[in-house]
Amino acid sequence: MKKKLQSRRTGFTLMETLLAVALVGMLISIFLTVFVPARGMIHAALTKQESDRVISILRAELSTVRASERTFDAKSVGPGKYSSAFDKGFYWLLSCKRPSSSIVVFSYRANTAASLREDGTYPPIPFNKARPGGDTQLVSIACPMNSTIHKNDIRHAVGPVFLVKLTQLEPENKGSYKLAKTPGTIKGASTPDKYFSEKDTDTPWGGVIFCRADFYIMSPPNPDRYKNRPWSRIGRPIFSTNISIPR
Q: What is the pLDDT of residues 168-218, one digit of tens each?
A: 988 777 767 888 888 888 887 888 888 877 665 555 555 688 899 999 999
Phi, psi dihedral angles at 143 (to 5 degrees): -165, 165
- 29 falls within a domain: no
pLDDT for position 11: 63
The percentage of residues in the chain with a pLDDT greater than 90, rounded to a whole number, is 35
Enumerate the β-bridge partners of residue 137.
Answer: 110
Least confident span in 37-41, 97-101, 165-169, 225-229: 37-41
Q: How many domains does the chain have?
A: 1
| Residue 105 lies inside a defined structural domain of this protein | yes
Q: Where are the alpha helices (DSSP H) in the chain?
A: 14-62, 85-94, 192-198
Domain assignment of residue 207, given as a range: 74-246
The answer to whether 170 touches 187, Cβ cutoff 8 Å, is yes
Residues 6+ apart with CB under 8 A from 244: 208, 209, 210, 211
Residue 10 domain-assigned?
Answer: no
Q: Is the pLDDT of residue 5 over 80?
A: no
Q: Which pLDDT belongs to residue 102?
A: 95
pLDDT at 138: 87
| Neighbouring residues of 136: CB distance < 8 A, sequence distance ≥ 6 | 109, 110, 111, 112, 125, 130
The pTM assigned to this predicted structure is: 0.76
Higher pLDDT, 204 or 235: 235
pLDDT score for 128: 65
Q: Does residue 130 lie within any of the structural domains?
A: yes
pLDDT tens readout for residues 29-54: 666 565 555 444 434 444 778 889 99
